[in-house]
Amino acid sequence: MSTTYTIDTSTSRATPVSAPMKRLTVPAIRKRKGADSEPLVMLTAYTVRMAQLMDPHCDMLLVGDSLGQVIYGLPSTVPVTLEMMAGHGAAVVRGSYHALVVVDMPFGSYEASPEKAFESASWLLKQTGAAAVKMEGGEAMADTVRFLVERGIPVMGHVGLTPQAVNVLGGYGARGRSEAEAEKIVGDAKAVAQAGAFAVVVEGVVEPIAVAITDAISCPAIGIGASARCDGQVLVAEDMLGLFDRTPRFVKKFDDLAGRISAAVQAYAGDVRSRAFPGADQIYAPKN
């Protein structure tokens, strides 16, 4: 039986309780392939509370290295460390009981060799309790993907726009506009899928490439800025919730939490300054 966390106002805000539901597994995710399968739902999560809220609705939660920008205000994902990923990964696992939790391998933790990747990935899974890791890169990383999978570490691939390579790519623009680059991206996806990846994220590519990849690989293709034809979709949760003014073109904002939070804080500040808060319901009266 898995464990999740619920609000308990008498103690801490997150207290573990039993949950009568099994987590989705890597084989179960792998089977969700093709137009006849229900598309996979995936969002990023970095904290216990966000994991609690998203878990019932998602098939997978990605502890993305995007936390470098979303949580820490870093200029890119490049400075993110294994220790940062481990802390947030463990929090998301504690806050969920249904979704498969995948943790990003940060830049510099896996590229040097398959052995280095195994050392980093095994440490991450031990520290977090997550089920899988995600690695950016295509054909160049295929041998590493195979090395990890053969040693019991499930791997999600990531091709197309790979944010860790922003210094090489020169920015975050859509990839695959030239025929040569399009062929390379499709080849990259095939290579990591054939190496044993259980799913492949396809990010920031022109739509025909995403469709071609979805049709070409035997595992689910998870789109982000790709195509509705993919086997599933992923977004940064804070982007789709409307917490940031600037978001990528491919993001649909499903709410305006930034506006709602700002309005709530404004109301709070007004009540504090007028001494309307705390009121009778929020203070402790002496016992008779």
Give me the sign of the Cα torsion angle 45, 88, 171, 146.
Answer: negative
Are residues 141 and 113 in contact, defined by beta-carbon separation less than 8 angstroms?
Answer: no
Pick out the residues of the known binding site for 3-methyl-2-oxobutanoate: 65-66, 104, 134
Helix H or strand E segment including 2? strand 2-6
R_g of the chain computed on alpha carbons: 21
The catalytic site residues sit at 203
Cα gap 266→163, rounded to integer Å: 36
Query: In sequence order, which residues have a C-beta less than 8 Å from that of residue 114 and are 6 or more positions away?
Result: 143, 144, 147, 148
Pairing outcome for strands 15-19 and 2-6: antiparallel
Cα gap 158→162, rounded to integer Å: 7
Cα gap 266→270, rounded to integer Å: 6
Cα gap 163→246, rounded to integer Å: 17
Helix H or strand E segment including 103? strand 100-104
Pick out the residues of the known binding site: 65-66, 104, 134, 136
Helix H or strand E segment including 260? helix 257-273
Number of H helices, E strands in the chain: 11, 10
